[in-house]
Chains A and B, each alone.
Chain A
Amino acid sequence: MSRDFELLEPKTVKEACAMLSKHRDQAKVIAGGLSLLLFMREGLFKPRFLVSLMKIKGLDYIKHDAKKGLRIGALATHRSIENSKVVKAKYPVLAETFHRVGSMRIRNVGTIGGNLCHADPRLDPPPTLLALDAKVKVVGPKGTRSIRLEDFLTNYYETVIRPNEILTEVSVPSQPPRTGGAYVRFSTKTNDDTPAVELAAVVTLDPKKEVLADVRIGLGALAPTAVRAKKAEAFLKGKRPEEDVLKEAGMIASQEVEPIGDLRGSEEYKKEMVGVMLKRGIQAAFEKAKA
């Protein structure tokens, strides 16, 4: 691995931004380092400076209040989110999703901020975060921006973050009553392999009837970024999750993505699986919402 780099260890976000401003494209942020070190070891990326965030204190919180919802500091590890009492109580689908990230060793070190900024479309958290209408807070020398996650992720490994900005927080709004979520991770190979289809379904039921008042579906590993299946969502709104309704919603959703045929499935197969997983996801979310 390239040894020609300098590791900078700022103690505050402000210091980190200043270092990034100074070194521009020669510098990259490193948190847990799992994804970045992989690329560096393969010789695909050779930065001159790494700005490590690991000495910055106070960015690993998980807070919740009824008004602001859930706020997670960018350096919170996947494991801490998976195990968090408040996440398990208020956003169980999020705890389930973070439980599926990599292996225990990955979850002990990887951070939510690093995960979102790495922006590999095959990662687990983004579809669920999208389905929960998550936002990210990004801090730079010119100030703070609050960006919807949908707008934050733009392409393979690309986000709207500027070279001298740091993602500091991920927030998820409070969910209405009678809301349930499910995360489906369909892998055609081993349990922990990159999946063929990732689908997160969050549904809110009508207060009186068993009808889908609101539906949000996040899809992953099927496009250059994780995406929302907006057309399928609109179709399902106001309906009961019956067989034929879900089947049609599945077909609509499969047309909203462009899966790449690879070792994990052909394009056609993955599209068909979107339909299968949508049915499973919506049904599971529906049961949770009823409870």
Chain B
Amino acid sequence: MLIEEKFTVKAPREKVWAFLMNPKSLAPCVPGCEKVKAIDEKNFLVTVKMKIAFISLAFNMKVEITEMSPPVHLETSATGEESSMTSNIKAKNVIDLTSLSDRETEVSYRSEVSLFGKLGTMGQSVVKGKAKQVGKEFAEAVRKRLESKA
């Protein structure tokens, strides 16, 4: 499934890039993100929890930075397993930062997500719908943190 979103942040592009590239600042913005461990410069282990009503999901992911052109373009590849071991997830993510002005940046991301396993019972559309909501929360969190600092 494809998840595509755009949002604007009132901060210069370099600042947004630095923010997104730093696991310590990025992780708290991702709803449900509990652990980020850097294995090396390009590889990270991430645990993300997601709740869909009474269903609690915990994804243990390996994220690899596959392409990087600071401060404009970032590509990552993530694979993971849901902790109950009934589902797997694969995602290819592309993030682009566009300067709208010297104080405003547009962040656009595009994720190609594949879900395998039991989560299919709920239907891809439910997971996608929830992912969109999570995306909105992410955007809000990034804006809040970056704009208050600026």
Contacts and interface: CB of A to CB of B under 8 A. Distances in A.
Nearest to B118: A42
Contacts of B52: 156-157
A262 B132 CA distance: 14
A260 B128 contact: yes
B38 interface: no
B101 interface: no
A263 B128 CA distance: 12
Contacts of A119: 53
A262 B127 CA distance: 11
B122 interface: yes
Contacts of A207: none
A157 B55 contact: yes
B68 interface: no
Interface in B57-76: 57
Contacts of B126: 120, 156-157
Contacts of B39: none
A86 to B, nearest CB: 33
A282 B7 CA distance: 38
A42 B128 contact: no
A143 interface: no
Contacts, number: 56
B148 interface: no
A83 interface: no
Given A28-B54, A119-B53, A157-B55, A260 B122 contact: no
A224 B86 contact: no
Contacts of A45: 54-55
Interface string A138-162: 0000000000000000011110000
A224 B123 CA distance: 13
Interface in B61-103: 84-86
B52 to A, nearest CB: 6
Contacts of B53: 119, 155-158
A235 B144 CA distance: 38
Given A44-B86, A262-B1, A157 B123 contact: no
A120 B129 CA distance: 12
A44 B84 contact: yes
B25 interface: no
A45 B53 CA distance: 11
Contact of A38 (B85, B121, B132): B121
Interface string B31-62: 00000000000000000000011110100000
Contacts of A258: 132
B15 interface: no
A-B complex: 10 closest residue pairs judged by Cβ atoms: A157-B53, A42-B118, A260-B125, A43-B86, A262-B125, A158-B53, A42-B121, A260-B128, A156-B126, A44-B55
5 contacts: A44-B84, A45-B54, A157-B54, A260-B132, A261-B2
Given A44-B55, A224-B129, A263-B124, 12 more contacts: A38-B121, A39-B121, A43-B85, A43-B86, A119-B53, A120-B126, A122-B125, A156-B129, A157-B52, A157-B126, A194-B123, A258-B132
